[in-house]
Amino acid sequence: MKLSRSIVSLITVVAFVATLASHAETIRYQARPGSKVKLNGTSTMHDWTVDSSIIGGYIEFDSNFPLDPSKPSSDLKVTPKVEVTIPVSSLKSGKSLMDEVMHDAMKMKNFTNITYNLKEMKPKERKAGDPLQFDTKGDLTVAGVKKEVGMVVTMEPVAPNKLKTTGSTTVKMTDFGIKPPAPAVGLGLIKTGDDVKIDFEWMTARKDEKKTASAQ
């Protein structure tokens, strides 16, 4: 049985569109120096802060990803692949005893890294020229325990092929099986609050395609 010309034409168009989609360029932005993450908490003695300048990992998306702030918000059809790694040992308070207590509470000997994997990303409504903001959900793993966290993330192109990604969220230590420390030096009278606010600024740059090709 012969197919009509209209059906043949439709099949041809669908095949052409599918071919274009399959050849969408995959772009990877790799972590670069200049990042920072800060953990803020409370205790019965004083508020505390620890930070790190090491945020490893990458963001990977196709060439259609809406990165131009001069354009209005658009529907995001595919969530980018995002993997983040922060060495627990890089988190410092400036006080060696506090760092020791913190690293021990985070079970650093068995779980050396904090990791994050993006699961969902939706653009927030905005006008052309406003910052690129997204509602996100992802899995945060601390001390070997994985929990889903939500936060608003802002992406800002800071130079050709460079991105600054910022965000903030609050988590509870006990959600990750971490008992809020009560340092022995204070005879256990110093109590640490359960809530920890996480603020980050992550610098990434588009991976050099020539270097990638030569490495394969």
The token duo for 74 is 């658009």
Return d(Cα 61, Cα 210) in angstroms, integer.
Answer: 18
DSSP string, 53-97: S--EEEEEEETTS---TTS------SPPEEEEEEEGGG-B-S-HH
pLDDT for the residue 4: 58
Average pLDDT along the chain, 216 residues, taken 10 residues at a time: 50 42 75 97 90 98 86 82 98 93 95 98 90 96 98 94 97 95 62 95 82 38
- Does any domain span residue 84? yes
- Whether residue 33 lies inside any domain: the answer is yes
The pLDDT, as a whole number, for residue 211 is 44
- Considering the domain boundaries, does residue 6 fall inside one? no
Q: Are 195 and 42 in contact (CB under 8 A)?
A: yes
pLDDT at position 19 is 41
**Gap between the terminal Cα atoms of the chain:** 48
- Return the CATH number at 153: 2.40.128.110
**Domain total of the chain:** 1
Say how far apart CA 156 and CA 141 lie, in whole Å. Answer: 26
- The DSSP 8-state label assigned to residue 16 in this structure reads H
Residue 4: inside a domain:
no
In sequence order, the β-bridge partners of residue 171 are 196
Residue 180 makes CB contacts below 8 A (sequence gap 6+) with: 105, 173, 174, 191, 192, 193, 194
Per the structure, the complete domain to which residue 141 belongs is given by 26-215
- Residue 123 inside a domain? The answer is yes
Question: 62 forms bridges with which residues in the sheet?
Answer: 26
pLDDT at res. 118:
98
Q: Are 132 and 65 in contact (CB under 8 A)?
A: no
Question: 37 forms bridges with which residues in the sheet?
Answer: 52, 200
Residue 206's pLDDT is 94
* Two structure tokens written together for 75: 């529907």
Residue 11 lies in a domain: no
Position 141 in a domain: yes
What per-residue confidence (pLDDT) applies to 21? 44
Domain membership of residue 176 (yes or no) is yes
